[in-house]
Amino acid sequence: MAFHHIPVLLNEVLEALNPQPGETYADGTLGGGGHSGEILKRMGETGTLYGIDRDEAAIAAATERLKSYPGFHAVHGNFHDVKELLPGVRLNGGLLDLGVSSFQLDTPDRGFSYHEDAPLDMRMDTTQGMTAAEYVNTVSERDFCQALRDYGDEKWAARIAQMLMEKRAQKPLKTTADLVAVVDAAIPKAVRRKWSTTNWPPWKRP
């Protein structure tokens, strides 16, 4: 699947940054290079832009897309570490387009979406860190419950965490379908009947 990026609020971004020839910018969430390409167009061959992304697929796609601009430099890393990634670089401005990209959601083997049964990965940077499968198969019941409450405001957090322990004791969770099965088993049937109008899980939609 090609890494395609439609820039969000492009005109507003360009108006706010107002990039000029000879200036230096950083795109901290490079993605497919949609924003970066438009910024580079306005700076011409004398401008410099550093595109930072944790996703190597994004780095490869943007590098190919923007190869005609001599001032473009792709950087593999987290924008949080920009000082370490760009030591001594003085920027005229920067951009962060935060969120998960549609490419990541639509690529089954990345494991971000439940629309298809796929390996549980969910890493932005596939070169480091534990996969979602490794996490759900090793996390404690208490910590998993707390994570669901803190980051998902999940009403059924305790029940889901308990069911996770029961299911993984039978066999390790490896796919998105395995994780959905945990949620299905944890949620009361009356609640799931209300979900039937949305065809849960998503990949069973006609």
Q: What is the pLDDT of residues 28-56, one digit of tens each?
A: 999 889 999 999 999 999 999 999 999 99
CATH value of 105-196 in 3.30.930.10, 3.40.630.40, 1.10.150.170, 3.40.50.720: 1.10.150.170
Range(s) of the chain covered by CATH 1.10.150.170: 105-196
The predicted model scores a pTM of 0.72
Residue 73, helix vs strand vs coil:
strand
What would the two tokens of residue 79 be? Answer: 């924008």
Instruction: Kindly give the pairing relationship between strand 24-27 and strand 93-95.
Output: parallel
Question: Which helix (H) or strand (E) segment is 135 a member of?
Answer: helix 132-136
Letter for the amino acid at 149?
Answer: R
Q: Which residue has the higher pLDDT, 112 or 37?
A: 37
Radius of gyration of the chain (CA): 21
pLDDT at 201 over 60: no
Residue 1 has pLDDT above 60, yes or no: no
Q: Which residue has the tokens 């534990």?
A: 130
The SS3 assignment for 76 reads strand
Alpha-carbon distance 125 to 78, whole Å? Answer: 9
Residue range(s) of every CATH 3.40.50.150 domain in the chain = 10-99
Encoded amino acid at 24, one letter = T
| Domain spanning 10-99, CATH architecture | 3-Layer(aba) Sandwich (3.40)
Please identify which residue in the block is written with the tokens 């290079």.
33
